[in-house]
Chain A
Amino acid sequence: MSFPDVAGTIAGNAFDAMTPLVFAALGGLFTELSGMLNIALEGLILTGAFFGVIAASLTQSAFAGFAAAGMAAAILAWVYGAATIRLKANVFVTGLAANIFASGLTVVLSNAWFGTKSVIAFKSPAPAAPFAATLGGIPFLGEALFSHDLIVYASWIAVAATSALAFRTRAGMRMRATGANAEAVVAAGFDPDASRLLAIVLSGLFCGFAGASLSLPLSAYVPNMSAGRGWIALVAIYLGARRPGRIAIACFVFALAESYSNYAQGTLKIPTEFILAMPYAATLAALVIGSALERARNSR
């Protein structure tokens, strides 16, 4: 393979790998803006991946699968949010609950419905973009930009939509105000808890989409296929300074690392565990370096 082809493949795969991260990070951004650190992203992604691919296979519609993924994760998020907010529970612990619930439920259901705790393959339509056939032929750019599933482009639209929702609507203003000074929200006659719950449900919806963008293109469900993406998304939110556009860029950098390590796995002899560890290592390194830079900037 020539260099442009390799670069095109790695970049193209990076755009694919970026999609679940972007959706998850946008979801996490809502809760972050409303003043909560949402560690349940991981479980919400898993829920979306599981129910999304099942629904897509049952209906033979990628769109229905995508919607079902969002719905399923939003419902779990609502339960998690209601416990957190209405029962005034600790948001980290209920977040753990959502994660553990998702990983337990998916195994129990997959055992009960499909008789396996391992990979489940489905026959479901891939959400291909109509222009992939024509524009995909352009060297480098074709492979990098135009040969993706529709979900990839949907995630780019989601970036703009999130920006508009959070910064240009009353609901978004209330959400951000809740995160910045909840007392002021009360004084203005609003219920900050309503904003918090909305943020959590939105984060569920988006994480569901993230899950769908993992399982739909594969037409399969793999146990634990979220593989730490919820946590990576949290770091992307931090590195992206809570701005949707910058968060997308941070996600792309992580996706590039993932895409490269997948490429390396095919060509170099590295134990699987190290390949699996790569995203965690990269995220940790980015988190440490980002914090160090910020500290250096502040102390100057």
Chain B
Amino acid sequence: MQKIALENIDKFFPSSRSWANRGANLTLEAGEIHAVVGENGAGKTTLMRILAGLEKPDSGRIVIDGEPVVFRGPADAVARGIGMVHQHFLTIPGFSAAENIVFGEEPRFARFFVDRKALLANAAEAVRRFGFAVDPAKPAEALTVGERQQVEILKLLYRDCEVLILDEPTSVLPEREIGALFDTLRKLAGEGRTIVIITHKVREVLRIADTVTVMRNGAAVGRRRAAELSERALSDLVMGADARSSTAPQAAPAPKHRPAPALPPALELSGVTVRRGQHGRARLNALSLSVAPGEIVGVCALSGNGLAELEDLLAGVLKPSGGRVRFLGGRYPRRRAAPWRENGIAYVPSDRMRRGSCADRSVAENVIAPDRDTYFPAGFLDSGAAKAAARAAIDAFSVKAEPDSLVGELSGGNIQKLILARELLLAGGSGSAEGRTPPRGPAGKPARLCVLCEPTWGLDQASTEFAYGAIRGRRDEGSAILVLSSDLDEILALSDRILALHGGSIAGAWENRPGLSREEIGAAMLGAGGPIPAHVEGGPCD
């Protein structure tokens, strides 16, 4: 039976001057797992935030069990049994898992005081009843990403939410934990709860959802049964069959296997150990790898196995406690040189909001920031060149912005595109964006090394393909490219060589040949890949 209906929802955002939702409709039934899919900026998250009481619609209405409701805030939605797990978890540091779960509903004694014993007992009971596996006494800071997600879901269950909305729940989870999450969600749906998953991953939809709503340009294209859809058909619905040919940038051809070039490595790590924290468990353990000019090396790992530390090491945030990092045979630079200058290092960080961009500055300022040598000849700003570079970046990746726009007003996907354009395309070269005018950036050579972390995180399919093309183009121009990603599909799509990290060490190394087994890599990432030969290192295979 119909549990919830969203009818003709409109939502306009004055800050970005855009419609997030226009006449959006959605229905949910009790006991189903429903996926809301669409590209970036299709309005999925906004529509769900409206349902969760976090945004107010400009027009349209929400109907629950046949009764129209108005939410003044998230508390109203929770009172009606609707709760949302955000993409960025809202865990409260300094609180235990239990305190996070019962926050706002703490049991009390003597009217005023929080009953800590009852609080812990209640949380433990909830953990047990819903079949989760998180220690309620654990402090929030010590929880893994997966445990934090469990806490977020438990928060809602503790408040008797009947409708759980999860925004991109798998984007932060390692493969193994995705399975566990899906099992949990099926169990909760089996008890009669309604689960909504916001996602842009087509494959995931078919794996978990009973029903699907596809969104495009702020409106729902339709509600379907997942069982009736093929991956291809769903893809076409998401992209819009007509959109594919006209507006989306063209996809680059799939990678061919390339022999490893016999050049000295651009980046070479030998026996690098990184410790973090007081007790100093090694996060990277005697790690050795190298990347030669003209090859793409993909490193994949589950969270907590050293990928973040490897990024921070190459970003200069962490110092190795042992071993050596060499760049072009010399010392690894302490600070990043401009990406598209000689000896430069292009770097797409996994944290695009805080590290990769500055919300309070314009697009132009974000574009020129890493290459001040070029845009401040003799110390003074060349504003014409700055504007031209911003324009080039915007055109190259179809970023929806103007050079003067504040980056904080762009959507996450557009910010990611801007970063990719800045790091990959602003060189004299063209990338391999066939059919497009090569952007004219400042004179310079492509970066000698590109460190790309989760490079297409949050991008829609068309932009992802375009980014892949640009990355391959860089490789073909002779850059050494290191891709760090927790997304195995991405690693397989891009890499010439693949390294799996487990526990901060290399757990496996492969040439990306056709027929390479996904399962074998997955097993190595889990540390279950059988005995790892002692000679396996990250160097080029022969």
Contact = CB atoms under 8 A, between A and B. Distances in A.
Question: Do A and B touch directly, given a CB cutoff of 8 Å in the complex?
Answer: yes
Interface string B61-93: 000000000000111101000001010001111
A157 interface: no
Interface stretch (B103-111, B221-229, B245-253, B518-526): B103-111
A183 to B, nearest CB: 5
A284 interface: no
Contacts of A268: none
A164 B113 CA distance: 8
A70 B370 CA distance: 52
B73 A169 contact: no
Interface string A141-180: 0000000000000000000000010001110011011001
5 contacts: A168-B113, A170-B106, A186-B73, A188-B74, A189-B78
A186 B73 CA distance: 9
A271 to B, nearest CB: 46
A177 B101 CA distance: 13
Interface string B86-126: 10001111110001100110101000111010000000000
Nearest to B79: A189
A127 B431 CA distance: 80
Interface of B: 54, 73-76, 78, 84, 86, 90-95, 99-100, 103-104, 106, 108, 112-114, 116, 155, 278
A184 interface: yes
A29 to B, nearest CB: 14
Nearest to A178: B92
Interface of A is mostly: helix
A181 interface: yes
Contact of B90 (A164, A187, A300): A187
Contact of A181 (B74, B84, B91, B113): B91
Given A188-B103, A189-B78, A183 B90 contact: yes
A120 B124 CA distance: 61
A131 interface: no
Given A168-B113, A168-B114, A174-B104, A186 B74 contact: yes
Contacts of B95: 173, 176-177, 180
A190 B104 contact: yes
B97 to A, nearest CB: 13
Interface in A31-81: none
Given A177-B95, A181-B92, 6 more contacts: A168-B116, A173-B106, A181-B90, A187-B74, A189-B73, A189-B104
B389 to A, nearest CB: 33
B104 A169 contact: no
Given A169-B114, A189-B73, A184 B91 contact: yes
A180 B103 contact: no
B99 A181 contact: no
A181 B86 CA distance: 14
A187 to B, nearest CB: 5
Contact of A188 (B54, B104, B112, B114): B104
A173 B113 contact: no
A176 B155 CA distance: 18
Interface in A254-279: none
Contacts of A181: 90-93
A175 to B, nearest CB: 12
Contact of A187 (B86, B113, B116, B278): B86
Nearest to A184: B90
Nearest to B108: A170
Given A183-B90, A184-B92, A169 B112 contact: yes
Contacts of A187: 54, 74, 84, 86, 90
A102 to B, nearest CB: 32
Interface in A177-209: 177, 180-181, 183-184, 186-190
Given A170-B114, A177-B92, A184 B73 contact: no
Contacts of B113: 164, 168-169
Contacts of B114: 168-170, 173
A300 B104 contact: no
A9 B84 CA distance: 61
Contact of B75 (A169, A189, A300): A189
A299 to B, nearest CB: 10
Given A173-B106, A188-B103, A300-B278, A180 B74 contact: no
Contacts of A168: 113-114, 116
Nearest to A171: B112
Contacts of B93: 180-181
Nearest to B93: A180
Contacts of B92: 176-177, 180-181, 184
A229 B526 CA distance: 57
B489 to A, nearest CB: 31
Contacts of B99: 173
Contacts of B73: 186, 189
A184 B74 CA distance: 11
A173 B96 CA distance: 12
A297 to B, nearest CB: 8
Of the candidates B76, B91, B103, B106, the one having the most CB atoms from chain A within 10 angstroms of its own CB is B103
A75 to B, nearest CB: 25
A169 B73 CA distance: 24
A188 B79 CA distance: 11
A209 to B, nearest CB: 21
A173 B103 contact: yes
A300 B155 CA distance: 37
B181 to A, nearest CB: 20
Contacts of A169: 112-114
B224 to A, nearest CB: 31
A176 B106 CA distance: 14
